[in-house]
Structure formats: C-alpha cells, structure tokens
Amino acid sequence: MDSPFGLLAELTYRCPLACSYCSNPLNIAEYSDELGTDEWLRVLAEASELGVLQCHLSGGEPLLRRDLVDIVAGAHDVGLYTNLVTSALGLSRSKGEQLRAAGLDHVQISIQADEPAASDAIAGTPSFHRKIEAMRLVKELGWPLTVNVVLHRYNIERIAAVIGLAEEVGADRVELANTQYYGWAWRNRDALLPSRSQLEAAETVVRAARERLRDRMEVVYVIPDYYSRYPKPCMGGWASRQLTVTPNGDVLPCPAAQSLPLPRASVREDPLERIWTGSPVMTAFRGTGWMPDPCRSCPRREVDFGGCRCQAFQLTGDAARTDPVCHLSPDHDLVVRAVEAANLPARARGVPLIPRPHGVARRARPGS
C-alpha cells in the first residue's frame, strides 16, 4: 500500500450552476452539515502527515465557503500544493488577491462552451462573461491556469473553438474531459453520450491542436469510457494514490464512491491515517485479491485493476463485477446497447435533459 499522492477536498456541494452533467451526489442535502474551518485545517494537516502532496479544493463551488482563504492558508502552511477547482463565479479581484497572499498555487476554471448562449444554456445560468473575466484575472495575478471543459453530445462539436478560447485567454493547460456518468450525469446519460462520428471528429481536432500547441499549452483529452476497449484504472487503483473528503467529512477512495453499499468512514470519527490504512471503504477493492474472473486471470489486472467499481455497481448492481466497459466483461452488452442508442439518428432518440436544481440548503457551521 502506498501513501496517497492527492487529496480532493470537496468543501461544499452548493453551486450557482445547474449543469445537467454534474457528477456530485443526487442526495446533496445529506451533505449539508459541512465541516467547519478547524475541522478542515485538521484534515489538511493529517493529509500532509500521511504523505499527500497535492490538494484540490473543489465542490460544488468552493468560493461559496467564507473561510476559503483560511483553508488555503492552512494547506499552504502544511506544505500542500493547492489547486482551486472552480466555476469562477465569485472570483473577484479582492478575493483573488487574498487567495494569492494565502499561498494558492493553481486555478482550474470550468467553462461549458466557447460562446455565451451555448455556455450559459448548459450551465443553467448566465456565467460565460464572468468566467472569461476570471480567467484573465487569474493570469494577471500570476497563477497557472487550467481551463476545464466537460464534453458531451451538446458541446463536443465545438471543441476546436473551445481550444481556441483557452488559447486566447492564455491558459497553460486545457482539459477536455468527456462526461463521467455519475450523479446527474448518470440520470442524463442517454441524452449526453456522444455519437461515434462526433468522437472521431473531436479526436482529429485534438491531435492537430496538440501538435500546433505543444510548446505553448498542454492539451489533455479524456475519451468516454463507453467507447474504450479496456476500462480506466479507478484513480490509479482503488485507494492507491488518491482520496476524497466530502463536505460532511466522509472519506472515499474516489468522488463517486458514496453510491456504493460500503461502511461509512468519517474524519469526524477517526484520524485520516487510520481511515486510509484500515477502514472497510478503503480496503474493499484495494489491490487485486478481490477480483473475480475474467479480471483475476487477466494480464491487465494490475494495469486497469478491473476498472471502475462505481460504474460496475451502477450498471450491474454489484461493485465487485468486472467493469462492463471492458470488452471481456460478461456484462459488456450493457455498454454496447448504450453506445448503439447514442448512435441512432437524433430524431429517433429524442431524449430530453433532466435539469439539475440550483444549490442546496444547509445547516451553518462556524467559519463556513
């Protein structure tokens, strides 16, 4: 067992956007009793002692936390490299200057498309122009900037213009990540999954952009699992390199694992080190001993670790099954049927998006 390299600190699930591909839990009201400032500072100190080097401050929208500057300063004080993952709504100049002084190292801003009408429609609220202003502010304040775009059927054909936008604002990195089907994205999978022709066109654009921009901007492209021959390794292997702390203090090996029927572990009840090394939620699928066939006898078992446990559970009801994305899985036909449906003519599919509601009520805790 290795020490974790990265911590995803989900500070709140509150968010001003209403994206239909959001991967946060459907039951976000259950996470409304958020950790307070002192609790987060303790978690960050314990994470550093455990070996964590990178801390990604996410949500929801982390800028909605009134104590965000204090949390950033606390992470900086214990030696963590901090990355703010944000919609940038609420990133004013004064807030930016405070975060810079607190030691924030990197900013990642999401955008939904390359122009206002499409971006605002996908986000569920007017936000495009504020995002562009925030990107320019980030560069002015001297931070590295990643522009993140979640791709799906409704924006993947705009990928060239999206890359152009990232180039225009001076991004150091653009992350073009096809939708991961958890949370609201799972409910909207049939509407969001792109067609094969859309993917092929996008990949052509990405290859050309990588060549053209190789000395100026990193272009990261993540294809949708459903079109892969083999599954992706779950976060580099279940509870191997990464861990997530949710707004209410639950600790998970990945952001989507709250959906699995596993015993709960919380930083309000145990130290992070004890949870990482011995809690059932962390040990359930660590390594390869839990694997059934065909994974158990597969030469790729320590490459992809059987794929995503959350995806296996969503598609089959059994988190220990081989990820159905794998062409060797006995359940692969579940993915094949979804891909076939995504490639029907649009008029035959006619699948409407289910809108995600804005925000969530919560009980206030000191400093949050």
Q: Which two tokens stand for residue 317?
A: 């009801």
Is 19 annotated as contributing to ligand binding? yes
Do the Cβ atoms of 242 and 5 come closer than 8 Å?
yes
Q: Cβ neighbours of residue 343 under 8 Å, at least 6 residues apart?
A: 195, 196, 197
Rounded to 10°, the helix 93-102/128-140 angle is 40
Is 234 annotated as contributing to ligand binding? no
The CA–CA distances, whole Å, from 91 to 10, 62, 72, 135 equal: 18, 10, 14, 10
Q: What is the DSSP string of 131-155?
A: HHHHHHHHHHTT--EEEEEEE-TTT
In one-letter notation, the amino acid at residue 72 is V
Q: Are strands 251-252 and 54-58 parallel, antiparallel or unpaired?
A: unpaired
Separation of alpha carbons 294 and 330, rounded Å? 8
Is 326 annotated as contributing to ligand binding? no
In one-letter notation, the amino acid at residue 330 is P
Residue 152 C-alpha from the chain's centroid: 15
DSSP letter for 178, please.
Answer: E
Instruction: Name the binding residues.
Output: 15, 19, 22
Binding-site members for [4Fe-4S] cluster are 15, 19, 22
